[in-house]
Structure 1
Amino acid sequence: MIDIDPNGTGLPGIEQLRTIVGAVMTVGLILSVLALIVSAIIWAYGSNSSNPHLAGRGKIGVLVSCGAAVVCGASVTLINFFWGVGQAV
């Protein structure tokens, strides 16, 4: 039976890589909030100007930015969940 777990000290630079990944997650969340604000403005402008195409694009933008925020925020939990599922196989 083989028992292998992730090794956090096996390679040099792991801590720096963790810092970089955390910074990228932060940037992703900030950009998701920015996209949500811009999409909400486009949705409101499209609704008020009787432009259904623009309003629809704004709605899609709001949904996509919320989805991106969920993925960025829950990425560590998702990876840990699927790691656990993979270990159970």
Structure 2
Amino acid sequence: MDVFPDFSGVGGASDLRSIVGALLMFVLVIAVLMLIVCAIVWAIASSSGNHQATTKARTGLFVALGAAALAGAGVAWVNFLLDVGAEL
């Protein structure tokens, strides 16, 4: 007797793909907007000589850059995992 998994038992991979893609796109858009805001604040604070605001804006810029990179890579990662799962 051979035992095989029931691949039709779990459905909705396309729905999951669209939901995760939409959520990660929302995160990506917010991260890019924060990247722009932090860069502007960093430039203004640097030109006015406010070192504390410059440091906080630079930290925010790097955090937003990391979030944008993770969100962009997250979409590709989820799509890859869903494709691999469909091939099993």
TM-score by length of 2: 0.72
Q: Aligned residues, how many?
A: 77
For 1:23, the aligned partner's letter is A
Structure 1's unaligned 5+ residue stretches are 82-89
Q: In the TM superposition, what are the counterparts of 1:73-88 in structure 2 within 5 Å?
A: 73-75=72-74, 76-77=76-77
Structure 2's unaligned 5+ residue stretches are 82-88
Work out the CA distance in 2 between the residues paired with 1:79 and 1:22: 9
The ranges of structure 1 where at least 4 consecutive aligned residues each deviate by more than 3 angstroms after the TM superposition are: 76-81
Higher RCO (Cα < 8 Å, 6 or more apart):
2
Q: Give the CA deviation at 1:15.
A: 2.0
Which structure is higher in helix share? 2
Root-mean-square deviation (Å): 2.8
- Work out which of the two has the higher radius of gyration on C-alpha atoms and give 1 or 2: 2
Partner of 1:24: 23
